[in-house]
Structure 1
Amino acid sequence: MSAAKTKALNIIDENAVAVFSKSWCPYCRATKSTLDELGAKYYAIELDQVDDGAAIQAALKEISGQSSVPNIYIKKQHIGGNSDLQARRADLPTLLKDAGAL
Structure 2
Amino acid sequence: MKLTSIEGQSVPQTVFRTRANHQWRDVSSAELFKDKTVIVFSLPGAYTPTCSSSHLPRYNELAPTFRANGVDDILCISVNDAFVMDAWAKELAVENIHLIPDGNAEFTNGMGMLVDKSDLGFGKRSWRYSMLVKNGVIEKMFIEPDKPGDPFEVSDADTMLHYINPEARDPEFVTVFTREGCPHCARAKALLKAHDMTFEEIKTGMGTGVSSRTIRAVSGHSTVPQVFIGGKHIGGADDLEKYFSCLPH
In the alignment, what sits opposite 2:217?
62
In the alignment, what sits opposite 1:35?
192
Instruction: From the CA coordinates, give the structure whose radius of gyration is larger.
Output: 2
- Which structure is higher in helix share? 1
In the alignment, what sits opposite 1:53?
210
Judge conservation of contact 2:234–2:243 (CA < 8 Å) in 1: no
In the alignment, what sits opposite 2:240?
85
Q: CA RMSD in A?
A: 2.3
Q: Structure 2 CA distance, aligned partners of 1:93 and 1:33?
A: 20
Q: Structure 2 CA distance, aligned partners of 1:50 and 1:60?
A: 15
Shift of the alpha carbon at 1:49? 6.4
**Larger RCO of the pair (alpha carbons < 8 Å, separation 6+):** 1
Unaligned runs of 5+ in 1: 1-13, 95-102
SS in 2 for 1:36: helix
Q: Structure 2 CA distance, aligned partners of 1:93 and 1:50?
A: 40
In the alignment, what sits opposite 1:8?
none
**TM-score, normalised on structure 1?**
0.66
Shift of the alpha carbon at 1:51? 2.9
- Which structure is higher in strand share? 2
In the alignment, what sits opposite 1:11?
none
When structure 1 is superposed on structure 2, of 84-93 and 28-37 the one drifting more is 84-93
Give the aligned residue type for 2:200: Y
Judge conservation of contact 1:38–1:93 (CA < 8 Å) in 2: no
* Residues 82 and 93 (structure 1), Cα distance of their counterparts in 2 relative to 1, 3 Å cut: farther
Q: Structure 2 CA distance, aligned partners of 1:39 and 1:93?
A: 15
Give the aligned residue type for 2:203: E
Judge conservation of contact 1:16–1:75 (CA < 8 Å) in 2: yes
CA deviations over 1:53-75 (Å, ceiling 9, x no partner): 22xx3122122211100011001
Shift of the alpha carbon at 1:48? 3.2
Unaligned runs of 5+ in 2: 1-60, 62-171
Shift of the alpha carbon at 1:44? 0.6
Judge conservation of contact 1:17–1:72 (CA < 8 Å) in 2: yes
- Give the counterpart of 2:181 among 7, 21, 24: 24
CA deviations over 1:5-24 (Å, ceiling 9, x no partner): xxxxxxxxx88000000120
- Give the counterpart of 1:76 among 202, 223, 231: 231
SS in 2 for 1:89: helix
Give the aligned residue type for 2:186: R
